[in-house]
Structure formats: structure tokens, C-alpha cells
Amino acid sequence: MRFSDKVYVITGAGSGIGEAAAKKVASEGGTVVVADMDDSAGARVVSEIEAAGGTASFVHIDVSAEGDADRLVRHAVDTYGRLDGAINNAGVGQPVKKIHEMTTADWDRVHSVDLRGVFFGLRAQIAHFLTVGGGVIVNTASGAGLKAAPGQGGYVAAKHGVVGLTKQAAIEYVTDGIRVTAVAPGLVATPQFRSYPQDAQEMYAQLQPGGRPAEPEEIANVMAFLLSDDASFMSGEIVLVDAAQSQK
Ligand code: ADP
């Protein structure tokens, strides 16, 4: 029960990695604010956490919208009296296109959610943590935040930005009791991945050294470790969770 009596906000918690992280944190005693732009997905995750004996509430948020991250922090503090940590996880992919094929809209969408959204989250959370003597933040980067990926120029650039912001925040606030890390997942079997045709799923799975993508829980377990006091001497690390994919 590493998160007993503590409160966490998790963005993109209506699906996939964020949902698995919310359930993991709640299963270890943490109170979770499920933040997502998908109201029905968020409500479902809250009710599943509550059915399992946990405590959670839902806040509608668009991480790319100015002010929403501040409102999320206020919700946690007003409702539960405290905020101990955050997982900035909400994200979107981009259509497979080479750089010369990408529209300005393709670029802006992935950057406004995946990078500006993390900046807004960090800014709001850090401002609060500075007033209470510390806190923990875990960002969702990607293997594509550490090297190129075919047809993913906008996403690669945004996730490299998340990696940079994570390192920057870590060094700027290490003496303020604020730890900031990121996980960098490889291929994950998210609901979106599971919606691909079976042959496409198999083709992607075969590209993995271990022959399969990660289950969202296998990423969430690492996030929970980073969020917990077990990782008390970690800040600024970008933790790859990819079963050797990056060694190919
Ligand atoms: P993954 O598991 O890789 O994070 P998913 O697509 O399963 O991928 O989950 C991403 C979650 O982030 C979804 O629940 C989605 O609704 C949410 N999301 C996407 N864009 C935003 C946004 N701008 N603000 C808040 N939540 C968002």
C-alpha cells in the first residue's frame, strides 16, 4: 500500500496506460483523480476503481487547453485537501506521414496535446508542490522520444520535447523536494492497438524482440514505482520500458 493517504491526478486515465496506472495507484491505497476528455471512459474507470474498493473522482480536462491543468490541481486540493503526485499521460498519435507530407494541423495537434499538455501540467503541479514542500511527477514519454520512428516526425519531435522538459524540471526543482521522471514505453497493446486488424497486430508484434507488445499494466507498474518512495533517489531519469526493442 505505497500510496495510502495520498492523492494523485492522472491525465488520459480513461484508457490504456493511464487507466492501468489509475487502477494500480488506487489498488495501493491512493486516491485518484481520473482526468480525461472522454467523459464516459473516465466515469467507467472511476466506477471500476470504486467497485474494487478504491477512491476516485473524474474531472473533464483537455490537457491542451490553457487553465485546465490548474483546474485539475484545484479539484484535488479542494476535494481531498492535498495533492501528492501527478502522471501527465494524456496523448494522441499522428497519422503515418513523412515530414514533407505532414500538414500544419497534423503538427499542431500532436504538439498541443503531447507536448504543450505536459508543459501545462508541469507548470500547474510544480506551482502547487512549491507551496507544500514537494511532490512527484511522472510523464509519459515514448521510445519515440529517444530515437526516430518511421512516419512519426511530429510525434517523435513532441516526445523528444517531453524528454527534455522532464530533465529540465528535474534539475530546476530537485532542491524543492520535487521529483520528475518519465517512462518511455515501446509498443503497447492499448485499446487503439487492439482495434487494428488481427494481421496488422501480428505484424507489429513480430517486430518486437519478445514477439508481443506490452500490456498497459506492464507500463503502469513502472510508473507506480517511479511515483512511489521506492524511487526516492530518482529524478530526471527517462525509463525505457520496451523489452529490448531499442537494442535491435
Ligand atoms: P495510451 O494508453 O497509449 O495512453 P490511449 O489512446 O488508450 O493511449 O489513451 C489516451 C487517453 O488520453 C484517452 O483516454 C484519451 O481520451 C485521452 N486524451 C487524448 N487527448 C486528450 C486531451 N487533449 N486531454 C485529455 N485527455 C486526452
Percent of the chain at pLDDT > 90 equals 94
Measured CA to CA, the distance from residue 166 to residue 179 in angstroms comes to 10
113: pLDDT strictly greater than 90: yes
pLDDT band for 192, please (50, 70, 90 cuts). Answer: confident
pLDDT on residue 193: 87
Cβ of 73 less than 6 Å from ligand 1: no
Contact in structure between 158 and 111 (CB atoms under 8 Å): yes
Cβ of 188 less than 6 Å from ligand 1: yes
pLDDT on residue 200: 86
pLDDT on residue 210: 93
For residue 91, report the distance from its CA to the centre of ligand 1, in Å: 5
pLDDT band for 232, please (50, 70, 90 cuts). Answer: very high
Name the pTM for this structure. Answer: 0.97
pLDDT in tens, 79-98: 999 999 999 999 999 999 99
pLDDT on residue 28: 98
Task: Dihedral sign for Cα 22, 86, 177, 160, please.
Answer: positive
- Mutation to probe ligand 1, out of 59, 63, 108 (largest number of atoms < 8 A from CB): 63
Measured CA to CA, the distance from residue 200 to residue 196 in angstroms comes to 6
* Domains located in the chain, CATH noted: 7-238 (3.40.50.720)
Q: To the nearest whole number, what is the mean pLDDT of the chain?
A: 97
pLDDT on residue 146: 98
With a CB cutoff of 8 Å and minimum separation 6, the contacts of 81 are 7
ipTM here: 0.98
Active site residues: 155
Measured CA to CA, the distance from residue 4 to residue 25 in angstroms comes to 9
15: pLDDT strictly greater than 90: yes
Percent of the chain at pLDDT > 70 equals 100
Measured CA to CA, the distance from residue 119 to residue 141 in angstroms comes to 13
Residue whose CA is at the smallest distance from ligand 1 atom 2: 16
Residue 110 DSSP symbol: H
